[in-house]
Amino acid sequence: MSAGHDHSHAGHHHHDHAPKLDHLNTAFIVGIILNSIFIIVEVIAGLTTHSLSLLTDAGHNLSDVASLALALLAFKLTKVSANSKYTYGYKRSTIIVSFFNALILFVAVGFILYEAVVRFMNPEVVSGGTMAWVAFIGIAINGFTAWLFVKDKDKDLNVKGAYLHMAVDAIVSFGVVVSGLIIYFTKIYWIDSVVSVIIGIVILRGTWSLLKDSLRLEMDGVPAEMDLEKIKAELMKGKGVVDVHHMHVWALSTTENALTAHLVINPESITDFDNIKHDLRHRLEHLDINHSTFEPEFADENCKQPECL
């Protein structure tokens, strides 16, 4: 006979590993403003110098501004209270946005590579000096914006996506500076295409992990940093717990994880289940699991669910 479910939500506990919205809110807003200004500069410079490279990069930067805006919106939505239709609130929006941002990066790479081939087949005479100066400004802006996210990039996939977008732009801008200088001194215009291909390969290498990790969370897979054996071992330390099965771990958002599990309890300990669950909840918080749901079972009871058979 099952003793029912217990829902133990520990959302009121704050951990140092979780990025703080206030800090990131400023980073996102600064990044959006700086990159919007730079887009205008690139478009004006691209039109006046007939530089396809600058106009292409301006379009790529526009997609980055949209990505930063989406990431900021996702973090705002995590603060919206749960309701009868969304009982966990809108926390999952951060996972959706991180996956979408990874896709945007891949599309951007495809566009860069396509433009590289077009430029290689039909090289245009451009002002290498102007390209280099404008791109140098881009390195400063994108590099600074990436720096705003660097300390939180390994703590949250959404922040990692924003960081990658800005770091990628800084790399692209560096490539344009190199291309511009080579063109200025040698007049070898196809070098711009070669540099673009190299940049595209670098971006793909950095973006793959973001796409893979965000897709895993989209599919309710176990977060990469979670060790199921370690979690089970910690649950087995609970008073009266003789076995753990039907255990599931998944991500509610890019910073919060959840767990459900059946706990097989000694009959003499079942009356102390409130204390057992509070102890286990505390243990799980140290393993970055913020929401836990336990179903207790007697040691002589057979679990009838398919996962237990």
Nearest to 237 by CA among 270, 274, 284: 284
**Cβ distance 197 to 137 under 8 Å?**
no
Co-location of 28 and 168 in the same domain? yes
Co-location of 211 and 284 in the same domain? no
Domain termination site, one of 165, 197, 218:
218
Q: Let me know if residue 16 belongs to a domain.
A: no
Domain termination site, one of 148, 183, 218:
218
Co-location of 195 and 273 in the same domain? no
Q: What does 62-128 look like in DSSP terms, one character per residue?
A: HHHHHHHHHHHHHHHHTTSPP-SS-TTTTTTHHHHHHHHHHHHHHHHHHHHHHHHHHHHHS-----H
Domain termination site, one of 202, 218, 234:
218
Co-location of 123 and 47 in the same domain? yes
The rounded distance, in Å, linking the Cα atoms of 126 and 243 is: 71
Q: Let me know if residue 2 belongs to a domain.
A: no
Give the chain's domain count: 2
Co-location of 144 and 247 in the same domain? no
- The predicted pLDDT at position 180 comes to 83
Q: Let me know if residue 260 belongs to a domain.
A: yes
Co-location of 48 and 127 in the same domain? yes
- Going residue by residue through the chain, which has 309 residues, state the pLDDT in tens, using 9 for 90 and above: 444 444 444 333 444 444 455 677 888 899 899 999 998 988 888 788 766 667 777 777 887 888 788 888 887 887 788 888 888 888 888 888 888 888 887 887 888 788 778 878 877 676 778 778 888 898 999 899 999 888 887 777 778 878 887 888 888 788 878 888 888 888 887 877 777 777 777 778 767 877 888 899 889 899 888 899 999 999 998 888 888 988 999 988 887 899 999 989 888 777 888 888 899 999 999 888 989 999 888 766 555 555 554
Range of the domain at 280: 223-308
CATH number at residue 302: 3.30.70.1350
- The predicted pLDDT at position 22 comes to 62
Q: Let me know if residue 12 belongs to a domain.
A: no
Centre a 10 Å sphere on the Cβ of residue 121 and count the other Cβ atoms it contains: 9
- The predicted pLDDT at position 10 comes to 38
**Cβ distance 211 to 103 under 8 Å?**
yes
Co-location of 126 and 255 in the same domain? no
Co-location of 155 and 241 in the same domain? no
- The predicted pLDDT at position 214 comes to 87
Q: Where are the alpha helices (DSSP H) in 93-236?
A: 93-121, 128-149, 157-186, 191-218, 228-235
Co-location of 279 and 302 in the same domain? yes
For residue 309, the 8-state DSSP code is: -
Only one residue has tokens 């669910």, namely: 305
Sign of the Cα pseudo-torsion (289, 306, 243, 294, in order): positive
- The predicted pLDDT at position 171 comes to 83
- The predicted pLDDT at position 4 comes to 45
Co-location of 195 and 77 in the same domain? yes
